[in-house]
Chains A and B, each alone.
Chain A
């Protein structure tokens, strides 16, 4: 009888072993999301002066897009680009944004329509008769579906500060706002330089270990090659999840073991008392950030949006990491 039991047990576990193998393979083969490189195929310095249409650009989807004339009806399907477009003075030309758009304030009231940004209805989109659709971190299928509908669509998904600058310049060129784009980027770079100088003075041992959590159920956190990872570094922090690639759920054990000195939460807008809930988690009281009360909720719009306010996000984080620098 015992023997039979063991036999059965062995069978069960050999099954499990197959499972291990399968899942492990799947993991190894998964393509890492490549960080978006230079958009615009190297056209990082657009020509000054009025733009000559039709204009041909290469966007982050890797395709060449021809913009026939200066866009007059623009739909932005990603809040970061909305911010850029408004910063370029295109209010009035932007005819639709997403339900996630909250900046500039009251932006949703300034447009004709508010769309579902994640899974936009192509029909609704077409009915707005836009001459330019601006896309961001949308998947390939969405981009293609919109293009198949005969709409002119550009897709930019910047994953680094430099890429944000380039994206702003690119959007400026497409919308015939090159000068304003250049000025905006210059302003951002200047602010970033001031910040960088401040942070550069901080010795490595005084840079806090930082854990960023964007989802309380799965503990989603930004790993290497994410925009957030760069923001943490620029703000003078050390991301505890930098051994992960891209956005990943992290194991609570690893967080506790890494013992972050600062914890940043981005979901405060939908989870009430987010800091308090995190501090009450069992076992997290062993973490320095909890012990010293350095658990912060930040505006997710600010830190999650690679747009014109991205330097402000660095500043906001830097103030959390190094309050003494900003006294």
Chain B
């Protein structure tokens, strides 16, 4: 569904991406992880077609992204990022309706089908009650749900998420990601998400691509990518990994530096996260 092949990108003299390749299949979620400045967001923007790769190609449904007209692309691919809000007092309903923009024809207004989709999406994310509220009066978590609803109103086949949970409280983090995963499964969505939180990445992504210095440092299932060795080589700190008590995927704990006064605490022996 999404194919990234040997993509290079530089801003001036600074090479951000140096030959990245991966694919995201329909119904699956790929997590892009890596340290700050690794080029994850740039990569996402290349897939979304708002940046052009210097070399290599990004294909959506087998066609290079650059070959789509924006409207065509927007009917296939949606992006959820942080801070995608207007400074103006649009209502929740109107904001979600903006997701129908790629389908609207000039002169022909909103159709009953558009309304139907928007109302359904609002119900699914649980915002039907506040549909006529002003977006700027909602909480940060609810606003992110509005943004998610908008991307869903686009009826995309590919969904890109750029750190969708940053600044959200725990409940909303889980809500947003659960909704994404439900849609991904039910509608065969190909999901590519940039996540800062490696634990959430392990839980919600079928495959992880660890990017470091503009290259793919590791990729595969969570258990293959999230190992103390790989993480130390990329992040410069050696975390402790344990399997999630319910889902079994690796979850990570950072380990603070041992200071002399910490000596009297008996360090607990922890099993390194094993293969499932």
Determine direct contact between A and B, CB below 8 Å. no
